[in-house]
């Protein structure tokens, strides 16, 4: 390694040790946490007894999947790849497309790449505060977490509440999706390619993982990179398969976000919780993206292989999405689907008549 790259690699290893260390938050007292938990339970119980809303989480995730899945694809398509290439050419980089960036020195990349994390976290803070205000002040909840005007009259408030949280969660996931893709572009990775979309999902998985699951989430990223590099069956990877994988993974992310977003329904505190949660999440996602793409860049440059961490097997991995297994299952389903270029029996019968 060059001295510059060696220093960068040492910084990555230091970040990885700190990032994957499991810590117990101590900023909020146990008494405050318990009060928040009680308020959250009241909110969830109130929502679940509303007429027409027997399964809040199911409705929430279904709506989130539709919004975030479409928005995620659109967000990646809007990453300004031409502008990224142009920025490097202005600095003397001999590049014609994103892939050429991977031949450049890391030192040049650091000079060209802007601080994208700050842009996305600023957006998330404002959006989360607005969502927290709407969710906590929409007339759904009254003091003590009870439903205002319980019965049929509560339905409009419930619709506002649910719509606000779905839109907020979708906006955060879409922003995170685009942020990761945007950062990856500056390291020479095009997130519109099917395999790169899976790597983006892996980063989002680490960013949304809890303290107990982040070690397993990082191990999943390494597993994904190895699969992309070595498994011949993944030569068949196409956009149809990836689209299905994205939908399933976003559904899982939705379940994780559901529990967090319900906290925004607590009156008064919803605004602070909404803004704070979105800021923390986007900051974590963008910081992870910066380091993980940097790590991947140097691993490919110097042939550094990933090493499995034995402690990952003991980590809480229930909430971690196994992207590799999902991809394998979707490829298998794709292989088993009958060809659709032949006329169907009904079409043949129509032709004979």
Please state the three-class secondary structure of 174-230 as a single string. HHHHHHHHHHHHHCCCCCCCHHHHHHHHHHHHHHHCCCCCHHHHHHHHHHHHHHHHH
Asked if 324 and 220 count as a contact pair (C-beta separation under 8 A), the reply is: yes
SS3 147: strand
Q: How far is residue 295's CA from residue 33's CA, in Å, rounded to a whole number?
A: 36
Q: How far is residue 138's CA from residue 85's CA, in Å, rounded to a whole number?
A: 46
pLDDT score of 326 more than 80: yes
Using CA atoms of 339, 71, 186, 304 in order, give the dihedral in degrees to the nearest 10. -60
Q: How far is residue 341's CA from residue 161's CA, in Å, rounded to a whole number?
A: 46
- Per-residue pLDDT of 238-250, as tens digits, reads 878 887 887 778 7
Other C-beta atoms closer than 10 Å to the C-beta of 31 total 8
Which range (75-79, 175-179, 321-325, 326-330) has the least confidence? 75-79
Residues 6+ apart with CB under 8 A from 153: none
Of 286, 288, 283, 170, the residue nearest 218 (C-alpha): 288
- Per-residue pLDDT of 235-290, as tens digits, reads 777 878 887 887 778 777 766 666 665 554 544 444 444 455 677 888 899 999 99
pLDDT at 267: 45
E-strand spans in the chain?
none
The pTM for the full model equals 0.76
Residues facing residue 147 across a β-bridge: 141
* % of the chain at pLDDT higher than 70: 54
Cα angle for residues 264, 266, 269 (degrees, 5° grid): 75
Q: How far is residue 117's CA from residue 178's CA, in Å, rounded to a whole number?
A: 11
Q: How far is residue 198's CA from residue 324's CA, in Å, rounded to a whole number?
A: 9
> Hey, CA dihedral for 182, 187, 188, 189, is it positive or negative?
negative
pLDDT at 353: 37
More confident residue, 122 or 342: 122
pLDDT at 149: 39
Helix axes 323-336, 194-208, angle to 10 degrees: 140
Q: Which two tokens stand for residue 342?
A: 């032949």
Write the CA distances from 250 to 34, 117, 130, 202, integer angstroms: 29, 21, 23, 11
pLDDT at 132: 41
Q: How far is residue 250's CA from residue 256's CA, in Å, rounded to a whole number?
A: 10
> Hey, CA dihedral for 40, 43, 46, 48, is it positive or negative?
negative
- Per-residue pLDDT of 28-48, as tens digits, reads 566 666 665 565 556 555 555
pLDDT confidence band for 309 (50 / 70 / 90): low
């Amino acid at each position: 390694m060059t001295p510059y790259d060696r220093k960068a690699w040492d910084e990555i290893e230091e970040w990885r040790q700190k990032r994957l260390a499991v810590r117990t938050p101590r900023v909020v007292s146990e008494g405050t946490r318990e009060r928040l938990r009680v308020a959250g339970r009241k909110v969830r119980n109130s929502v679940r007894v509303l007429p027409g809303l027997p399964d809040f989480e199911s409705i929430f995730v279904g709506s989130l999947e539709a919004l975030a899945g479409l928005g995620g694809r659109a967000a990646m398509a809007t990453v300004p790849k031409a502008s990224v290439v142009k920025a490097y050419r202005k600095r003397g980089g001999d590049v014609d497309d994103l892939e050429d960036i991977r031949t450049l020195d890391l030192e040049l990349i650091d000079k060209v790449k802007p601080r994208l994390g700050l842009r996305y976290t600023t957006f998330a803070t404002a959006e989360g505060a607005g969502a927290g205000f709407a969710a906590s002040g929409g007339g759904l909840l009254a003091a003590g977490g009870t439903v205002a005007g319980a019965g049929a009259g509560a339905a409009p408030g419930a619709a506002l509440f649910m719509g606000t949280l779905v839109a907020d969660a979708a906006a955060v996931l879409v922003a995170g999706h685009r942020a990761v893709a945007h950062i990856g572009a500056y390291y020479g990775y095009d997130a519109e390619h099917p395999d790169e979309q899976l790597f983006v999902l892996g980063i989002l998985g680490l960013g949304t993982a809890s303290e107990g699951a982040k070690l397993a989430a990082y191990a999943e990223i390494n597993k994904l990179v190895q699969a992309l590099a070595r498994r011949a069956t993944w030569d068949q990877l196409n956009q149809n398969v990836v689209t299905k994988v994205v939908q399933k993974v976003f559904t899982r992310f939705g379940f994780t976000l559901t529990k967090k977003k319900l906290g925004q329904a607590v009156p008064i505190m919803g605004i602070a919780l909404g803004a704070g949660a979105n800021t923390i999440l986007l900051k974590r996602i963008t910081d992870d993206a910066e380091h993980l793409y940097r790590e991947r860049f140097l691993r490919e440059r110097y042939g550094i292989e990933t090493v499995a961490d034995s402690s990952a097997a003991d980590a809480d991995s229930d909430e971690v999405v196994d992207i590799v297994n999902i991809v394998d299952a979707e490829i298998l389903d794709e292989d088993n689907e009958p060809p659709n270029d032949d006329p169907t029996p009904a079409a043949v019968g129509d032709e004979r008549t």
